[in-house]
């Protein structure tokens, strides 16, 4: 009988030597020869990748096999050294991809800007995982042109925007807040996604008088929170599938 950590390893190998926790929640319990008698298989998977030296963390929510580190170095910027433009580009696409996958699983239609369609999300292009390739014409042209530049958009079944997300690695958060303010008359939830170290900067900017109309509508998600949400959504879907819901 295959041990649980071996099943996780096999699931990662089948995916190229790396995987998000969300992917592992779905794939590891299905590995042939593995047995998961525990009532908390997802917690077991988290513990395995976090504690077993066979695995290492690339980004929040993204893990890989230590035996594949050298091969993956040519695929992903996983060096512990100073941040590079390549690493920032990879990170931006990765977090956009997490947001798109969450939106898809929660039943929203998803869109990313046309200039980002060839940006990589792990082994795929972002355009391959979004559900919308034309932006819904929900308002006036001047606002549509503004909305089309937002990093990730979720639309409801009537193709009205439900949530807008801006991923901020190093650019000015204030610019995204100004963009959000243009849509204060719509029922949209706004999110700034950034490193936890930028929370104080966000809190300072959102307190400006100019942003009073949207202050209660804007949330700050750090990368860890986003990755946890991504994992939880996949966990819920995997649990429902197991129960036949």
Tokens at 64, concatenated: 């890989």
The predicted pLDDT at position 242 comes to 63
- DSSP-derived 3-state class of residue 150: coil
What is the per-residue pLDDT for 82?
Answer: 54
Containing H/E element for 101?
helix 85-105
pLDDT of res. 79: 63
> How many Å apart are CA 226 and CA 193, to the nearest integer?
8
Is residue 147 within 8 A of residue 190, CB to CB? The reply is no
- The residue behind tokens 């996983």 is 78
pLDDT of residue 245: 54
Rounded to the nearest 5°, which phi and psi values hold at 99? -65, -40
With 0-12 / 13-18 / 19 or more C-beta atoms within 10 angstroms meaning exposed / middle / buried, residue 138 is middle
Kind plus residue range of the DSSP H or E element containing 20: strand 18-20
CATH topology of domain 4-80: Arc Repressor Mutant, subunit A (1.10.10)
| pLDDT of the residue at 101 | 97
The pLDDT of residue 32: 87
Residue ranges of the chain assigned to CATH 1.10.10.10: 4-80
The per-residue pLDDT string of the chain (245 residues; one tens digit each, 9 = 90 and over) reads 788 999 999 999 999 999 999 999 999 988 988 888 777 889 999 999 999 999 999 999 999 999 999 889 878 887 655 567 888 889 999 999 999 999 999 999 999 999 999 999 998 999 999 999 999 999 999 999 999 999 999 999 999 999 999 999 888 999 999 999 999 999 999 999 999 999 999 999 999 999 999 999 999 999 999 999 999 999 888 777 666 65
Cα first-last separation, the chain: 28
Q: Order across the sheet with 62-65: list the strands.
A: 18-20, 62-65, 55-59
For residue 73, what pLDDT is reported?
A: 85
User: Considering the entire predicted model, what is its pTM?
Assistant: 0.93
With CA atoms as reference, report the closest residue to 107 among 240, 242, 243. Answer: 240
Write down the pLDDT at residue 125. Answer: 96
40 torsion bin: left (phi>0), alpha (psi -120 to 50), beta (else): beta
* Per-residue model confidence (pLDDT) at position 166: 98
Could you give the C-alpha distances from 182 to 145, 220, 228, in angstroms and in order? 11, 18, 30
Residue 125's beta-bridge partner residues? 120
């Amino acid at each position: 009988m295959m041990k649980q950590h071996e099943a996780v390893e096999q699931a990662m190998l089948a995916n190229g030597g790396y995987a998000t926790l969300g992917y592992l929640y779905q794939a590891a319990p299905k590995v042939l020869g593995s047995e998961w008698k525990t009532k908390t298989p997802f917690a077991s998977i988290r513990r395995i990748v976090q504690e077993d030296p066979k695995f290492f963390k690339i980004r929040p929510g993204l893990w890989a096999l230590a035996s594949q580190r050298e091969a993956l170095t040519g695929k992903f910027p996983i060096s512990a050294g100073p941040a590079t433009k390549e690493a920032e580009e990879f990170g931006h696409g990765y977090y956009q991809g997490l947001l798109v996958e969450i939106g898809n699983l929660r039943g929203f239609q998803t869109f990313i800007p046309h200039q980002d369609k060839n940006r990589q999300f792990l082994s795929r292009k972002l355009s391959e995982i979004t559900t919308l390739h034309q932006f819904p014409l929900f308002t006036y042209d001047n606002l549509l042109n503004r909305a089309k530049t937002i990093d990730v958009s979720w639309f409801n079944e009537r193709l009205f925007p439900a949530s807008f997300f801006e991923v901020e690695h190093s650019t000015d958060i204030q610019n995204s807040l100004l963009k959000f303010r243009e849509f204060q008359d719509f029922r949209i939830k706004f999110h700034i996604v950034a490193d936890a170290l930028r929370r104080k900067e966000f809190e300072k900017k959102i307190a400006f008088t100019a942003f009073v109309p949207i202050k209660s509508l804007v949330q700050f998600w750090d990368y860890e929170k986003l990755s946890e949400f991504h994992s939880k959504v996949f966990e819920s879907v995997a649990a429902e599938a197991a129960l036949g819901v």
